[in-house]
Amino acid sequence: MHHNDEHIDELLASRGLRLTRQRRQLAGLLFRGGDRHVTAEMLGREAKLSGFRVSLATVYNTLHQFTRAGLLRRINVDPARTWFDTNTTVHHHFFNTRSLELTDIPQERVSVDVLPAPPVGTTIDHVDVVIRVTPR
Amino acid sequence: MHHNDEHIDELLASRGLRLTRQRRQLAGLLFRGGDRHVTAEMLGREAKLSGFRVSLATVYNTLHQFTRAGLLRRINVDPARTWFDTNTTVHHHFFNTRSLELTDIPQERVSVDVLPAPPVGTTIDHVDVVIRVTPR
DNA sequence: ATAGCTGCAAATGCTTTGCAAGGCC
DNA sequence: GGCCTTGCAAAGCATTTGCAGCTAT
């Protein structure tokens, strides 16, 4: 799944998002190709390094808008900050609790049998599997 | 697993924790019996309601000390705050993203086949399964 | 034109820290 | 007595918010 600049515009437009400079630039960084895991601070820093002018508040807003639009997935794994994943398909993660590195579990080798019924009045939204690892 | 006051003292002592008033009182609330999910703020409020004088800083310290001592387990599920679980055995959770309620998955009806090898140089520490639910 | 965005700074909320005073062993 | 613990207030951080000025459509 690789996106060049026109594809980025189509992608945003197809989700009903206005084509602002900041969204295009951030989307360019995020969806350039390959799966990415980012935090707001990381993406802001990367934007700055690329010569883009974006405020951190806008980075946060944009990450949330993209998430609402289904382009990103939030990952709650790290107590100190929120991660966003460009891979929105069903998959799971390794989280290195020492280095704070987040990596995908390759080739979906995790199967979960979800036999239990959810609490009354609720429906299952999403199943998250996080395998916490530490350096040997 | 029910703990009366003497048991609480034994429990703390057995983990090398000094028997201070605050630890005894907080442990009394936590390990009174039955599994509990608490946040620092909840436990502090509960302590206050029970007439105990404890600062929030001490509640935080105590929760971390108990966690290090293996009496509690941290749960990263809620981006806004850290939950602690008195059930330290292997089990998983439902998290209601609307009400922020955290409940155990009854009778361990979740099986995870962890086929994937962890990233090189790391070992698996813990597998967390969180099933996010929303009101129907 | 106008509804939606952006940027800044300030505010928020959870959590940690520094340090003096107090308590356990 | 000596080391660990507590409490308070202040600091720290990630994140959100208010709002004035812009901008895409």
**For residue range B39-74, what is the model confidence (pLDDT) as tens digits?**
999 999 999 999 999 999 999 999 999 999 999 999
φ, ψ (nearest 5 deg) of residue B21: -55, -50
Q: Which residue of A has its CA nearest to B116?
A: A109
φ, ψ (nearest 5 deg) of residue B112: -115, 125
Q: Which of B77, B70, B68, B66 is nearest to B101 (CA)?
A: B77
| Distance measured from the CA of protein residue A79 to the C1' of nucleotide D22, in angstroms | 36
Three-class secondary structure of residue A97 per DSSP: coil
pLDDT band at B27 (very low <50, low <70, confident <90, very high): very high
* Residue labelled with tokens 């515009």: A9
**For residue range A24-67, what is the model confidence (pLDDT) as tens digits?**
999 999 999 889 999 999 999 999 999 999 999 999 999 999 99
Q: Which of A56, A88, A59, A58 is nearest to A75 (CA)?
A: A88
**How many interface pairs between A and B have CB atoms less than 8 angstroms apart?**
122
Q: Which residue of A has its CA nearest to B83?
A: A79
| Distance measured from the CA of protein residue B16 to the C1' of nucleotide D4, in angstroms | 12
Tell whether B111 is within 8 A of chain A (Cβ): yes
**For residue range B93-136, what is the model confidence (pLDDT) as tens digits?**
999 998 999 999 976 778 787 778 899 999 999 999 999 999 98
**For residue range A59-104, what is the model confidence (pLDDT) as tens digits?**
999 999 999 999 999 999 999 999 999 999 989 999 999 899 999 9
Q: Is the CB of A81 under 7 A from strand D?
A: yes
Task: List C-alpha distances in Å: B113 to A95, A98, A112.
Answer: 17, 24, 7
pLDDT at res. A75: 96
**Nearest protein residue, CA measured to C1' of D16:** A57
CA distance B94 to chain A (A): 7
How far does Cα B121 stand from its chain's mean position? 29
| Distance measured from the CA of protein residue B58 to the C1' of nucleotide D2, in angstroms | 22
